[in-house]
Amino acid sequence: MHVQFMPASTDPSSMANKNTYDTSLIVATQIGLLPERFLETIPASTISGWRKYEIRKVIGLDCEDPILRDIDFHRQFLNVGALRAAAKALFRIYKFYENTILKFRGVKRVWKESKAEIVELVRRIQPTFGLERACRMARISVSCFHLWKNYPECASSPLNLCRKRHPLQITSKEEQIIKQYATDPEYAGWSLASLWLQILRDGSAAFSVTTFRKYVRILQIARPKFRKPRRRIGIRADVPLALLHMDTTVFRTADRTKLFIHLVVDNFSRAILGWRLMRTNNSKDVMENLGQVCEAHDLMRSEVTVLTDDGSENLGQVSDFFQRPGNFMKKLVAQVDIDFSNSMVEAVNKVLKYQFLFPKGSRLRTGNDLRRALEIETERYNDRPQFVLHGLTPREVLAGRIPNPHMFSEQLIAAREARKLANHSNLCGEC
């Protein structure tokens, strides 16, 4: 419904310029919420007429609407600044919780498990907002409200549903079977899927795996899982070039060629000392890569430990290399000769591929492309500061610099003081 307001003049030319306004603007004027932009374009006489207009006489408006029914109250309420500010603050809080809660995973399940509380909430706010608005604020439909209201909770059912009205829910006997199997020490550590299959194999009960998982959660059956304690600190060297790691990783170029990248990494500095791109994973190329590293850093006469895995590429000519006369280097096989794994070089392999090589994508089409990239990217890796080295690069630590966790302390303190002075002297114009 629209209401037409005409200027007082009877000039036919002025009749052609009449405006038609939506009745919502009249309601907004009467309760004091007409936007500022309309005050500049609507004549003051028209707005004055709206304030005196009997809005309940407009055909088609619902006079039982809470806003129209209590329009005098809303007008007086909004004219009090403190009450209007408090209402806005409460509305912001409501919108914050509404938008935040809906982002949580499993919010629908929480709603279903809080039926009684939600029904009671709707009943309390219904006289103020009306049933439809109250249900919308509670995030349920009107039909859902009536459904939940007419189905009272049943104490004998963990779903709080009457067993007669909902006969397809599992029986009390089946609930006991679920508790029995889920708490049996014989099945401790079993997955819920395996436990469900055992129930079916024994013929004790029959229901879907989804139902089984649901009832284990609803019945709050605690099934602690064993987790292996993590080894926080692995094998560590005290100086560079005392402990080396070797490992091979697979890389496929854009033309689907399968290649092998072999790395020799220093434990203390995390530096890549040598690499070799191989067509096949063989001990000859691995031995030559290690030999070049030893010649470059004069390691043959030093008591250096080289940690490898138990792959075949670390046998054959690699084993012969360590048995050469005058070679004081020693090879250890991870998790065979010692308890530690070879995870440090595996981590470097992963970083090199995912942070340096994979981003190049289709540019690494052939083995030659990969070889040229390795020549550049291994140097970039060695020149990149690392958090574990407290800001130093692998190349710097390899050259003798000692990682210092307090290396940037003075710089951070000076920046903090400078930041404080800069912000105190800032004139933002509002505070």
Q: Which two tokens stand for residue 368?
A: 């030659």
Q: Which region among 43-52, 259-268, 347-356 has the lowest average model confidence (pLDDT)?
A: 43-52
Q: For residues 367-392, give the mean pLDDT.
A: 95
When comparing pLDDT for 271 and 119, which is higher?
271
pLDDT tens, position by position, 392-403: 999 999 999 999
Q: For residues 317-339, give the mean pLDDT.
A: 91
Euclidean distance between the first and the last CA atom of the chain, given in angstroms as a whole number: 47
Residue (of 295, 324, 296, 319) closest to 306 by Cα position: 319
How far is the C-alpha of 64 from the C-alpha of 149, rounded, in Å? 24
Question: Is 294 a residue whose pLDDT tops 90?
Answer: yes
Can you name the CATH fold of 243-378? Nucleotidyltransferase; domain 5 (3.30.420)
Question: Is 155 a residue whose pLDDT tops 70?
Answer: no
The predicted pLDDT at position 11 comes to 46
pLDDT tens, position by position, 193-231: 999 999 999 999 998 999 899 889 888 888 877 777 776
Q: Which two tokens stand for residue 177?
A: 């079977």
Question: Is 159 a residue whose pLDDT tops 80?
Answer: no
| Residue given tokens 């024994």 in the structure block | 202
The gap from C-alpha 70 to its chain's centroid, in whole angstroms, comes to: 46
The predicted pLDDT at position 32 comes to 67
Domain boundaries, the chain: 2-78, 172-218, 243-378
The predicted pLDDT at position 69 comes to 59
Residue (of 186, 260, 183) closest to 215 by Cα position: 183
- Count of CB atoms situated within 10 Å of the CB of 207: 17
| Residue given tokens 């033309």 in the structure block | 255
Strands 305-308 and 330-333: parallel
When comparing pLDDT for 35 and 273, which is higher?
273
The predicted pLDDT at position 395 comes to 96
pTM here? 0.57
Which residues is 19 bridged to in the sheet? 5
The predicted pLDDT at position 1 comes to 46
> 348: exposed, middle or buried (C-beta count within 10 Å: 0-12, 13-18, 19+)?
buried
How far is the C-alpha of 21 from the C-alpha of 3, rounded, in Å? 6
Q: Output the average pLDDT for the chain.
A: 83
Question: Is 4 a residue whose pLDDT tops 70?
Answer: no
How far is the C-alpha of 401 from the C-alpha of 412, rounded, in Å? 21
pLDDT tens, position by position, 21-30: 777 777 777 7
* pLDDT range class, residue 9, cuts 50, 70, 90: very low
pLDDT tens, position by position, 119-133: 888 888 888 778 888
Question: Is 7 a residue whose pLDDT tops 50?
Answer: no
pLDDT tens, position by position, 84-115: 677 777 777 677 666 766 666 666 667 766 77
Q: Which region among 188-202, 223-237, 272-286, 320-334 has the lowest average model confidence (pLDDT)?
A: 223-237
The predicted pLDDT at position 275 comes to 96
Q: For residues 224-243, give the mean pLDDT.
A: 81
* pLDDT range class, residue 5, cuts 50, 70, 90: very low
